[in-house]
Each structure stands twice: as structure tokens, then as C-alpha cells.
Chains A and B, each alone.
Chain A
Amino acid sequence: MNKADISQTISQIDLNYIQEAMEADKVLLNGKGKEKQMWRFHKAHRFIEEILEGYTGTTDITAMGLQDMVIKYEDVMYVFSVEGDVLVMDVDGGKVSIPRTQIELSYEDLETLLNIFSNYGV
């Protein structure tokens, strides 16, 4: 049986089971507080790791789930928010506006972000 057949077979799993599994991340996605924050950190962490593996210089920062995230790291406050078509990174009061998609981030920037998330144990 080839991979296309396996995919097709798995596509036919009962929708009730899919719904059940869907609920598993709904709790985290709709939840509040530390658990939700950790989940988002984890997603961002993994995303950045994947980017670093095949680093090309451009990425979609919104896919990292960074928007609306507040991180304090080594006494510096990082606030990420979305204003219209740009993602704003507010670093200790100094705002950096970047397009939401296909922004340019240096390898060092990404490594810094990765260190921030690693510091949180995610």
C-alpha cells in the first residue's frame, strides 16, 4: 500500500473521532493564562527551529503565533501586536513595525527569539 492510499484511508476516519480530537486543542487555543501562553511559546519555538533549519532570510512571522504575546526576557519587555497590516514588535517602548508576511529577519534575530523561548523551557 503506497502513501497516497494510506492518506486516503486515514481520510476516512469517522468524523466523530476527528471532532473529539479537535476538542483537545480547543481547550488550549481558547483557554486563558499560563497554559495557553506556554502552548503559544511552544508553537513559536518549534516554528523558529524549523525556519532555522532551512533558513532563507524571509518568513511569515504571523504564523509563529507571536501576535499579542508579551515576553519579558533579561529585563527587556517584548510586546508583539498586530496593527492593520503590520506586526509591531515593541521592545522596551521602542517600536519596530514589520509587514505581517514575508518579513526579513536575520539569522541572529531568530536565534535571539529562539533563546528567549528556550529560556522559558519550551
Chain B
Amino acid sequence: MDDQEIIELFFARSEQAITQLQGKYGNRCMQVAWNILNNRLDAEECVNDAYLAAWNTIPPQKPNPLLTYVCHIVRNLSIKRYHANTARKRNSHYDVALDELGECIQTKDTVENELAVKELADAINNFLGTLSRENRIMFIRRYWFADSVADIAVMLGTSSKIVSLRLLRVRKGLKKYLEKEGIWV
């Protein structure tokens, strides 16, 4: 079933929409949640909550592409759960990715955090536009999807060492870009 047909099921308020969505994209959603949470039960809950959120927002939303939309919800819910869990336990896998980014992402403002985050996100989006397609994919697979370096290497048909090196260069480039834009202090 193609995405358009699934969205039509959502619009018709047919519960088949969830079944079809789960059948088509369930594994991909689980992968995103698993990478962040590293816990099957938590991941399943987040994915199920994401289906519910999709049910509640489609309509009026008519997302295209559907997979990106659902994965975005899964990621947001997983991150929320991750930070709620952090007090109890740590997920080294996702922590490592965040630590890497923390080395090159800082803002001068901690009081008006929301504005700072928005400004920084805009700058990162602009920076991503300057990267080669492959470097951009590496960056997003690592820091948005929280994929391991080894997985990214397999995905792109290269070695882990090369992926690590290229990610390091991209992070250095990002830091430099943020300094130039006056965001990094």
C-alpha cells in the first residue's frame, strides 16, 4: 500500500491506517527509537505513542513523505523519554553522540534558551546546506538517527575509520561556522 492510500485511511478514520503504517514503517520507527533508548519496552511504547500522535494529527495534516513525519514524532517522543530516564540510568550509545556534538555546539545565551536553540538550529541548517551530500547524510544519520559509526559505514559502503574521520572534520567545520556566525562562544 502506498503512502497516499495509508493517509486516505487516516482521513476515513479507519483503524486499518495504523495497521498499515505499522506494517510498512514499524521496523524503521523501532530502529529510531531503539538507537536513542536502547530499551525494547521503552522503544515500543514510544513507537505506539507515535502512531497515536499520527492518528490525532492526520487529518488535518497530510504529511508527505509519511515516513519522515512519523519518524520525527518517534524521535521527539524517544528523546523526551530518554531525558526522563537519564536520572535513573544512562544510555551510553546516545550519550556518546550527544557528547561529540557538545564539543562543537555551544551558545552564548543560556537564559533565553528557546531563542538560542532556534538560532542555533537555523545556523546548523545553513551549515548542512554547505556540506557534500554524503557528509550531510553521515552527520544526520549519526546525530538525528543516533546510528552507530559502524552502521553508517556499512550503509555508505566505507570503513568506520573513514566515517569517524569525516564526522570529526564536519564537527570542526561546524564549530568554525558557528564561530564565524557569532553563535559559538
Which of A22, A28, A42, A50 has most chain B Cβ within 10 Å?
A22
Task: Write the nearest CB–CB distance from A117 to chain B, whole angstroms.
Answer: 13
Interface footprint category on B: 35 or more
User: Which residues of chain A from 39 to 72 have any CB-CB distance to chain B below 8 Å in the complex?
Assistant: 39, 42-43, 46, 50, 60, 63
Q: Is A76 an interface residue (CB 8 A)?
A: no
Per the CB 8 Å criterion, the residue count for chain A at the interface is 32
- The residue on B at minimum CB distance from A60 is B40
User: Main secondary structure on chain A at its contact with chain B?
Assistant: helix
B151's contact among A8, A12, A43, A63, by CB below 8 Å, is which?
A43
Contact assessment for A42 and B154 in the assembled complex, using a CB-CB cutoff below 8 Å:
yes
Distance, CA A6 to CA B124, complexed state (A): 11
Cα(A63)–Cα(B47), bound, Å: 14
**What is the CA–CA distance of A6 and B67 in the complex, to the nearest angstrom?**
23
Dominant SS among interface residues on chain B: helix
Interface residue B11 (Cβ < 8 Å from any Cβ of A)? no
Task: Given A18-B71, A43-B151, A46-B148, verify A24-B156 contact (CB < 8 Å).
Answer: yes
Interface contact B83-A4, CB-CB below 8 Å: yes
Contact pick for B98, options A3, A11, A43, A60, CB 8 Å: A3
Question: Is A20 in contact with chain B by the CB < 8 A criterion?
Answer: yes
Interface stretch (choices B1-9, B48-56, B134-142, B164-172): B134-142
